[in-house]
Amino acid sequence: MRTILLLCLLVLAACNDPKPKSDITDIELVVNNSLGPTEITEIKIDSALNYNFYGGWATDKTSRVVNGGGSGKISRVLWDTLTTRLDQIDYEKLKRSNGTTADAQELEIIVHYKNRIEHLKAEDLPGNASNIFYDVANSYITGKMQNVK
């Protein structure tokens, strides 16, 4: 009887395998200037859900343009979504390009984890994984931000 009870407890414990926590501590989005009249954008989000923004952003997926700076908080759900998407593309092992684009904006996500930093450029991401850039850029819309001038 004890053996059966112990076996049942082991099976139940094995079924309740929690999702491993991401090692990501900070996510930054940097949009570097091209040679033309484009804006620089910087967004930094940390695991404490703090959000800092500077610059301006407009994409084909949103008509909202934000200028200046701001800070605020994002939701735990948004943070978990961003870190899960980065973990799914295996950001630690992506092949990196060494070149830069001539006259085009460069989109870069900087991932801080385990006292390391990975720089991910849009052109290095596989398939539609580059949508992570839009997820981070549009996070301003879902967060509770206060403008800072």
* Cβ burial, residue 128 (10 Å; 0-12/13-18/19+): exposed
pLDDT at 137: 73
Quick one: average pLDDT of 6-12? 59
Sheet holding 24-32: strands in order across? Answer: 116-121, 106-113, 24-32, 41-46, 50-55, 69-73, 144-148
Cα-Cα-Cα-Cα torsion 109, 144, 68, 47, nearest 10 degrees, comes to -30
For the entire predicted model, the pTM comes to 0.69
Instruction: Examine the pLDDT at 21 and tell me if it is beyond 60.
Output: yes
Look up residue 32 and give its two tokens.
């570097």
Instruction: Examine the pLDDT at 74 and tell me if it is beyond 60.
Output: yes
Cα–Cα–Cα angle for 47, 61, 83, nearest 5°?
Answer: 20
Q: What would the pLDDT profile of 28-56 be if each residue is shown by its tens digit?
A: 988 765 555 555 678 899 999 998 888 75
pLDDT at 105: 62
| Domains parsed from the chain with CATH numbers | 25-144 (3.30.1560)
Q: Predicted confidence band at 6 (pLDDT cuts at 50, 70, 90)? A: low
* Cβ burial, residue 97 (10 Å; 0-12/13-18/19+): exposed
Instruction: Examine the pLDDT at 9 and tell me if it is beyond 70.
Output: no
Contact (CB, 8 A) for 14 and 7 = no
